[in-house]
Amino acid sequence: GEDITAFASLMSSPSTSIITTITPSESSSGVKPVQADELDGFNQDWMNKYKGHSQCVLKPKTTQELADVMKYCYEKRIAVVPQGGNTGLVGGSVPVEDEVIISTANLNSIREFDEVSGTLVCDAGCILEVLDNHIAPKGYMMPLDLGAKGSCHIGGNVATNAGGLRFLRYGSLHGNVLGLEVVLPNGEILDGLSTLRKDNTGFDLKQLFIGSEGSIGIITGVSIVTPRRPSAQNVAVFALDSFEAVQNVFGKVKSHCGEILSAFEFFDQDAFELVQGHATAGVKDPFEARHPFYVLIETSGSNKDHDDEKLSGLLEELMEGGSITDGVMAQDETQVGSLWALRESIPEAAGKYGSVYKYDLSMPIPKMNELVLDMRARFEERGVIGKDKTIKTVVGYGHIGDGNLHINIVADRYTPETEALIEPYIYEWTAKQNGSISAEHGLGVMKAEKIGYTKSKTSVAYMQKVKDLFDPKRILNPNKYLPAQRS
Ligand code: FAD
Ligand code: 2HG
Ligand code: ZN
């Protein structure tokens, strides 16, 4: 297409350097210079924390076009960064320097949907919510859901192995993705768009690309199995007075509603206050007072009467045993949305309040709140936390049902000094619990050098070999995902 012709003419002078700067002045063939303001949205990440200065964004319309671009880049050794919806939270989707940005925005066709098996095959640039809306009338839903659903691409979800709000019920993309079509760094197309549920023939290569964050190939097509959309859904938010109570309630919820449970999320009072003060819409406080902790539970089933019965059994036990101090249950779709907004708008509210240092950690559930308290104490000791101080607030929330804590530290701005107050302390703390420094957001540029807190030297060495096997010239997403290697 036009983009590629433009690219080829811009690139016509042979280059051997890994990073090639394309300035409008190099364009001798009537190619329209790219306007700086158009580029900003592609160069800047969602948090305004990471910014590259690429002069070139390509939006191929077909897998073959993308393959042609990669072949060219491989020959000339030009670095590229794959970009989906640019909602990633570790700086992986934007250039570190001036890498060419390859956006999947124009790879957005739904290829097929099988209504018997629930198998969906689509282009990588389809927006998650668009896919969910497409299959909803057919009685199906996407097996993942996240706050960024209105802009993230399914290819980006697969590339980050996104977890999200219903991981607890539907599991990882490692289980739900049935096949992938991938353009390799040298332009070869790895055509693996299988729709088979079972296929034990050789290495399952697609698994390598799930969670590879654009380091070894660009995903162009996704085949994914989708579950039935539940006909009955209930959402409740409970208020609790301690983190012990949160854990206790988790046990009780599982024993009453285990097989219909589709989400178990928690947020602390500071996260709740943040949303009350800074989120945009639909976040009215449904309670009369503020509470130290909140949990949101969702059930999804096929028989409303059965589910209601199970929930009333649960509520009875929780109220009688004093496990919760208050609770609200959604009575209709609108209230379902409002209760979910209390949890889903935490990242947005944090971003409105200041510059956010985000930590996405796996650890034993009992340790989670200890870390949040420890971080607050650390800042208090140094006198840096408060409304008008360097650190405005520290909030804890997340997918407690999956052992995944999110800590958002909202600062007045991003500075190396503030970062040094948090890192490596928080990573060391997590490593001591044998936790993970990235439960679901990935490594990107933020944590490429930190992988050793969670993975052994041997594992990292084999990861480097996989990288070299697919991308020997290291043109895909340089400076990200894995520690820098000497060439
Ligand atoms: P991008 O941000 O564009 O890219 C992410 C990474 O994948 C980059 O390294 C990029 O190079 C690579 N990449 C993108 N597309 C491709 C491709 N086609 N082929 C190869 N590599 C590619 N994440 C969770 O896991 N759980 C959550 O609950 C969650 N909630 C979020 C809520 C909000 C409000 C926001 C802003 C983000 C949230 N995220 C969450 C993080 C983010 O949305 C996910 O990581 C998402 O999967 C990224 O998709 P994307 O299309 O925006 O990818
Ligand atoms: C969520 O669960 C996302 O809301 C974002 O994973 C978490 O912003 C964050 O830290
Ligand atoms: Zn999350």
The proportion of the chain whose per-residue pLDDT surpasses 70, expressed as a percent, equals: 92
Judge if the beta carbon of residue 358 lies within 6 A of ligand 2.
yes
Say if 232-346 and 354-453 have the same CATH topology: yes
Query: What value does the mean pLDDT take over residues 211-234?
Result: 98
Distance 163 CA to ligand 3 centre (A): 7
140 alpha carbon – ligand 3 mean position (Å)? 23
User: In sequence order, which residues have a C-beta less than 8 Å from that of residue 76 and are 6 or more positions away?
Assistant: 11, 14, 15, 16, 20
User: 354-453 in CATH: which number?
Assistant: 3.30.70.2740
- The pLDDT assigned to 485 comes to 86
Residue 279 pLDDT class (50, 70, 90 cuts): confident
Q: What is the pTM of this model?
A: 0.94
| Span between the terminal Cα atoms of the chain, in Å | 35
Q: Which fold has domain 232-346?
A: Alpha-Beta Plaits (3.30.70)
Domain positions in the chain: 110-225, 232-346, 354-453
Confidence (pLDDT) at 31? 36
Ligand 2 touching residue 347 (CB < 6 A): yes
Average pLDDT, whole number, for the chain?
Answer: 93
Residue 13 has pLDDT above 50, yes or no: no
**Closest protein CA for atom 32 of ligand 1:** 147
Can you tell me which atom of ligand 2 is nearest the CA of 397?
2
Cβ of 221 below 6 Å from ligand 1 = no
Q: Which of 273, 274, 291 is nearest to 348 (CA)?
A: 274
Q: What is the mean pLDDT of residues 98-115?
A: 98
* 6 has pLDDT over 80: no
- pLDDT tens column, 164-178: 999 999 999 999 999
Pick the residue whose CA is nearest to atom 21 on ligand 1. Answer: 214
User: The domain 110-225: what is its CATH number?
Assistant: 3.30.465.10
Verify whether ligand 2 is closer than 6 Å to residue 406 (CB atom). yes
For 330-363, b/e burial (b = at least 16 CB within 10 A) is beeeeebebbbbbbbbbbbbbbebbbbbbbbbbb
**SS3 annotation, 99-152:** CEEEECCCCCCEEEEECCCCEEEEECCCEHHHHHHHHHHHCECCCCCCCCCCCC
Indicate if ligand 1 lies below 6 Å from the C-beta of 213. yes
Instruction: Please tell me if the CB atom of residue 351 comes closer than 6 angstroms to any atom of ligand 2.
Output: no
